[in-house]
Structure 1
């Protein structure tokens, strides 16, 4: 118990796992990959997986840390976000309550997982009787919007990314709505930064598929936003547009290049800001 267990969901964008698993591999005690036994999305669409992915996974897993967990993750009586919650809950139970339950999405790339693990270890006491002391641990997500000539457009202000918990009573995706402990850790989220066909499939099959208010208007803005006009536009989020107010540009066409060229220190919230957020969360849940 009290181990670092990391879970991933294998779906239509499984190839991205080749970029999201390596950053966490060394510092994870075990990695679990959840896959629907009939290769179905949360909306019930099917996808195919090239055998080369499983060959890569076997070759990469030199320390035998990775377990493929296949189960029935699609319930036709549930909407996509409910299937999302259900799969994450089943995955975390497989990972084992009493350990740190970390879920990283396939299109999320943690910049310094070793540092995040050190931050988690400060709160190991919450792994004793976790059902009595439920918490969530948050990183900050730099949301990548669109690949353009010579680089990437990304959302200027990072957003919270709740990725870990001691007790998996998920309410919306990874969010349990329990007390949040914020940390100064960053992940790059490829989110909607993919080709148009992949993006359309994602919008129809992910947990937020019925929440996108005007898909065609959103897609048209995404199609026509580029390196030359992004400063003239605002409100880019797919559900409540104002949540992604402004974009910035960074050179680089790969995650490695983006990581090297992006001024991460200018993005990470200050220690004072983090302390204020954590005090607010502590006080909010003090009498609950």
Structure 2
């Protein structure tokens, strides 16, 4: 118990696992790859996995940490987001209660997983009775918008992401709707950094496929390093969630890590974390809240 267990969802974008598994490999105790037993997406679309990928996986798994967990992850009577949530729940059961359960998507790349593990270890007391004291550990994503020939475009404001929990009672994808502990851990998110064909396939088979806005693709296709400052409201669901873009003149992960560390806009401040975490404490645990609830019950 009290292990660092990482779970990935393995689907049509499995090739991206070649970038997301290595950064977590050394610090993880166990890694699970959840793969539908008939290779179906949450929408029921079939995909194939190249034998070369399994060869790569075997070669890189020098410590025998990785297990492929095959199960029936597609139910036609469920929506894509319901299938998403269900698969994460089944995966969490495989990962085991009493451990830190980290779920990472194939297109999410930790910049400093060792730091994240240290963050979790400092909170091991939450593993003593997780059902009575459930928490979620959140970090922040730098969303890569588009790869260019000489760099990449990214959304200039990081977004929250649920990364780990001690009690995986998932309600909506990775969200358990329980207390959130915000941490200064940042990942790169290759959510849109694909070919046009691959991106369309992703969005059509994604948990939020029914919510894609109509103007998204026209903006994405024309974005480049010369016009990105003129493009506004570029999110693929509610457009103004991503208000503007920025540019990295490199695609090298080591160089990007340095750029992120030296840009205060790309990671949360101590004051921001303090404010957010106090708000979560007040919402879920504060004595004032409990007393207020008891007082109101008399009326």
**Which TM-score applies when normalising by structure 2?**
0.93
In the alignment, the residues of structure 2 paired with residue 8 and residue 166 of structure 1 have an alpha-carbon distance, to the nearest angstrom, of 17
* Structure 1 residues not aligned, in runs of 5+: none
1:116 aligned residue = 116
CA RMSD of aligned residues (A): 1.3
In the alignment, the residues of structure 1 paired with residue 81 and residue 114 of structure 2 have an alpha-carbon distance, to the nearest angstrom, of 31
In the alignment, the residues of structure 2 paired with residue 133 and residue 98 of structure 1 have an alpha-carbon distance, to the nearest angstrom, of 12
CA contact (8 A) 1:6 1:31 kept: yes
Kindly tell me the number of residue pairs found equivalent between the two proteins: 286
List aligned pairs for 1:70-89, cutoff 5 A: 70-89=70-89
In the alignment, the residues of structure 2 paired with residue 85 and residue 269 of structure 1 have an alpha-carbon distance, to the nearest angstrom, of 28
SS in structure 2 of the partner of residue 138 of structure 1: strand
List aligned pairs for 1:211-226, cutoff 5 A: 211-214=211-214, 217-226=215-224
List aligned pairs for 1:119-130, cutoff 5 A: 119-130=119-130
CA drift at 1:257:
4.6
CA drift at 1:274:
0.7
In the alignment, the residues of structure 2 paired with residue 72 and residue 184 of structure 1 have an alpha-carbon distance, to the nearest angstrom, of 35
In the alignment, the residues of structure 2 paired with residue 250 and residue 276 of structure 1 have an alpha-carbon distance, to the nearest angstrom, of 30
**Which TM-score applies when normalising by structure 1?**
0.96
168-177 vs 85-94, which moves further: 168-177
* Structure 2 residues not aligned, in runs of 5+: 291-299
2:47 aligned residue = 47
List aligned pairs for 1:225-236, cutoff 5 A: 225-236=223-234
CA drift at 1:149:
3.4
CA drift at 1:213:
3.0
List aligned pairs for 1:122-271, cutoff 5 A: 122-214=122-214, 217-266=215-264, 267-271=266-270
Greater radius of gyration (CA): 2
List aligned pairs for 1:5-20, cutoff 5 A: 5-20=5-20
SS in structure 1 of the partner of residue 211 of structure 2: coil
In the alignment, the residues of structure 2 paired with residue 39 and residue 264 of structure 1 have an alpha-carbon distance, to the nearest angstrom, of 41
Give every structure 1 segment of 4 or more consecutive aligned residues whose post-TM-superposition deviation is greater than 6 Å. none
In the alignment, the residues of structure 2 paired with residue 257 and residue 108 of structure 1 have an alpha-carbon distance, to the nearest angstrom, of 17
In the alignment, the residues of structure 2 paired with residue 260 and residue 48 of structure 1 have an alpha-carbon distance, to the nearest angstrom, of 36
In the alignment, the residues of structure 1 paired with residue 111 and residue 261 of structure 2 have an alpha-carbon distance, to the nearest angstrom, of 13
SS in structure 2 of the partner of residue 76 of structure 1: coil
CA contact (8 A) 2:212 2:236 kept: yes
In the alignment, the residues of structure 1 paired with residue 158 and residue 26 of structure 2 have an alpha-carbon distance, to the nearest angstrom, of 26
SS in structure 2 of the partner of residue 203 of structure 1: helix
